[in-house]
Structure 1
């Protein structure tokens, strides 16, 4: 019923406090209300002596002109999608009533002209519509002996309605082009930066690795006959490797945000969970942890398991608050490990975040699920029947990741 209208809207960023009127939030409903609000006074009211307004007699309401009013009012409902056709219908209906007491379609003409200026793709129809409307207004005024001042004022209002709609359309178009230009500029900058980084990798790191390969091959060939030469070649390989690592650290420093440039040490794993639990306890959560002894697991699984637990505890703290009782259970066996995080707080709010339905936007559960899927595992997150939230992840430790 209230699907977005097919016209150009300003796609600029909408702040949380920006007012959105009914014509933006419910365009079809608002257009129906507008058409009805214009039809009723047109059909029921007429001008009385002394510039007064009176209710039409029943015989005048049931006049054949009522069909013209109905056609014009119904057409106004489509003023966004078919603005030129709507203006044509309203002008024809008005032309059939010129010079009579039923020539009261001026308000509908004004809104139809605004619609042409605001929503019409072809700019030529706007001025033609204004000329036709002003001509009809002049003829009607002459037939009804309306003062020229009133005719001139009506012509000004009709022209102004089209001009206002046209200006709003131009402004929306400029805003759309600005957003497109900003997006194109951002893409250009990203492309240039990626090209720069690729060039750096090729010119520096690839060169160092090539040198290491050549020197290692030379050391292998002379190792039996010239041990000292082989040692010197391996020392050169070691130095080239250090230089390559330095260059890689430099490039990673360029890619990382400023706040993360010092985090180039060893990646955390399940062995660091007790420290993580202690930190979360200091933040206010009542956390219990059970893990037991585990066999060594691949580094990618170790890191992903730690990140899943870290994100799950962060979500509990964020959405349920300090004091929430939380359990972290880690079980190994078979060909994988299982992570279970339970809480008794308002964890259902976290579940809506994953589907984009919550009031707080975020991608925590989506990111955790992606980590599990990349390893060929699964992750389920849902509210608990008795209250709180449950997150369960199974990460395989064998086989190829997806």
Structure 2
């Protein structure tokens, strides 16, 4: 099994990376301290002892918490470095402080960060004031330290901003993906609703007609064979028409081209009402007060389906009907449809309580 690259492994385990960095800087600082090297030529340099080594370690090892507590870590590390320089500790430098300030820029934000940076700047300034009062020439060190601190902070802040941009882009991409999934679900639901509505319109009316005709054929099979034969022919004709419409709907489901779908599934419009009524046994009287050719196809299809559902409901729920009046007209540019019957209602057991037809009408009308 191949081992992961060390750099990649450290990126995937930031806490281990911080421990490695803190340990490395601690070792470098201790070695520099024991070697007695210093960037400041101070005759009062303190000789290395156990407590000076402990102080050097205390000024570097807290970098382990530089991501989780960047402000506290930065303030503590810089304070230790300032103290080490104030007491003329050999090997004292701002290596750990530079990493800590970089971490402040990379892993913190807001007013707290500003306050901590102001405190750190004040500590560094007071350090060099104290050195000047002791007669040490620290101008070059002050300038180089200031440039290093500013550079470390700017680099860390740029990293934080870049990371925020990446996170923002990822969140926007995820949000856009969720919106696309939601839109796709809505389209699927709308298509399922449309298919269910079309199937209801086609099947409910046709089956209602076929049931009525089958009952008539059964009643007249012996007493009036001719009437029974006519009823069976009506059932056959209605069945063929229903099958053709179902094939059209299934054809639409198999194609993704809207134009091809329109060819496969030509929806019936108001100009086909005569064919609808001719296959029906209801005594329907039509009254059309407008030109059907001037009605847009989308509205005409809706009107046809509404009348079809209304006649189906008359057949199912009105009971014995002697007259059904269907009127079509326009009022203030709107299509007006009225379907009225003189039935008294069928028995409760005969009612279809699904209500899907009325739901479909409401969905069509909006």
Q: Give yes or no for contact 2:38–2:93 (8 Å, CA) kept in 1.
A: no
Q: Which residue of 1 is the match for residue 128 of structure 2?
A: 141
TM-score, with length taken from structure 2: 0.55
Residue 218 of structure 2 corresponds to residue 230 of structure 1: no
**1:211-250 equivalent positions in 2, closer than 5 A:** 211-223=202-214, 224=217, 225=228, 226-250=231-255
Q: More deviation in 24-33 or 42-51?
A: 42-51
Q: Which residue of 2 is the match for residue 171 of structure 1?
A: 162
| Pick aligned residue for 2:100 from 80, 95, 112 | 112
Q: Give yes or no for contact 1:219–1:229 (8 Å, CA) kept in 2.
A: yes
Q: How far apart are the structure 2 equivalents of 1:101 and 1:22?
A: 39
> What number of residue pairs does the alignment pair up?
231
Q: How far apart are the structure 2 equivalents of 1:172 and 1:108?
A: 23
Q: Tell me: CA distance 1:91–1:51, structure 2 relative to 1, closer, same or farther (3 Å).
A: closer
Cα shift at 1:48: 7.3
Q: Give yes or no for contact 2:70–2:107 (8 Å, CA) kept in 1.
A: yes
Q: Tell me: CA distance 1:22–1:127, structure 2 relative to 1, closer, same or farther (3 Å).
A: farther
Cα shift at 1:116: 1.4
Q: Tell me: CA distance 1:112–1:50, structure 2 relative to 1, closer, same or farther (3 Å).
A: closer
Runs of 4+ aligned structure 1 residues displaced above 4 Å come to: 18-23, 46-53
Q: How far apart are the structure 2 equivalents of 1:19 and 1:172?
A: 22
Q: Tell me: CA distance 1:68–1:194, structure 2 relative to 1, closer, same or farther (3 Å).
A: same
Q: Give yes or no for contact 1:99–1:141 (8 Å, CA) kept in 2.
A: no
Q: Which residue of 1 is the match for residue 220 of structure 2?
A: none
* Higher gyration radius (CA): 2
Larger % of strand: which?
1
TM-score, with length taken from structure 1: 0.51
Q: Tell me: CA distance 1:129–1:195, structure 2 relative to 1, closer, same or farther (3 Å).
A: same
Which consecutive residues of structure 1, in runs of 5 or more, have no partner in the other structure?
1-17, 255-402
Which consecutive residues of structure 2, in runs of 5 or more, have no partner in the other structure?
218-227, 259-366
Q: How far apart are the structure 2 equivalents of 1:180 and 1:49?
A: 50
Q: Secondary structure at 1:180's aligned position in 2? A: helix
Cα shift at 1:28: 2.9
